[in-house]
Structure 1
Amino acid sequence: MSDPDQLIPEESDPDQLIPEEEEDLLEWASMAKLYAVGYIRILAEAIKRGDADLQVDPVAWENTLIAIEEVMVEHIRGRLHGPTPITVEDIERMQRLRGLGSAALSGGERSPELCPLALRCMECLFGRDWKRAARVAAFYARALNQEFHPRSGT
Structure 2
Amino acid sequence: MPHPDQPFTNEEEEEDLLDEEGENLLDWATTTVVYAVGYIRILADAIESGDADLQVDPVAWENTLNAVEGVMADQLRGHLHGPTPITVEDVERVQRLRSLGSAALSGGERSSEFCPLAIRCMESMFGQDWKHAAREAASCARALNQEFHPRSGT
Which band: TM-score by shorter chain? 0.7 to 0.9
2:39 is the counterpart of 1:35? no
TM-score, length of structure 1 as denominator length: 0.88
Calculate the aligned-residue CA RMSD, in Å: 1.2
Q: After TM superposition, list the pairs within 5 Å mapping 1:73-112 onto structure 2.
A: 73-112=73-112
Aligned residue pairs total: 139
Quote the Cα distance in structure 2 between the aligned partners of 1:95 and 1:81: 20
Matches within 5 A, 1:6-45: 19-45=19-45
In 1, the alpha carbon distance for the partners of 2:46 and 2:83 equals 27
Q: Partners of 1:152 and 1:48 in 2: how far apart?
A: 24
List structure 1 segments (4+ residues) > 6 angstroms apart after TM superposition. none
Give the letter aligned to residue 32 of structure 1: T
Q: Find the counterpart in structure 1 of residue 9 from structure 2.
A: none
- Does residue 52 of structure 1 match 2:52? yes
* Corresponding residue SS for 1:85: coil
Task: Look up the equivalent residue of 2:105 and give its one-letter code.
Answer: L
Q: Between the two proteins, what is the percent identity of the paired residues?
A: 74
Cα distance in 1, alignment partners of residues 20 and 122 from structure 2: 28
What SS does structure 2 have at the residue aligned with 1:19? helix
One-letter amino acid of the structure 2 residue matched with residue 84 of structure 1: T
Q: Structure 2: how far apart are the matches of 1:64 and 1:84?
A: 19
Looking at CA atoms only, which structure, 1 or 2, has the larger radius of gyration? 2
- One-letter amino acid of the counterpart of residue 127, structure 1: G
Q: Which residue of 2 aligns with 1:3?
A: none
Aligned position for 2:118: 118
Residue 59 of structure 2: SS of its match in structure 1? helix
- Give the Cα separation in 2 of the matches to 1:81 and 1:119: 21
Larger relative helix fraction: 2
Deviation of 1:24 after TM superposition, in Å, equals: 1.2
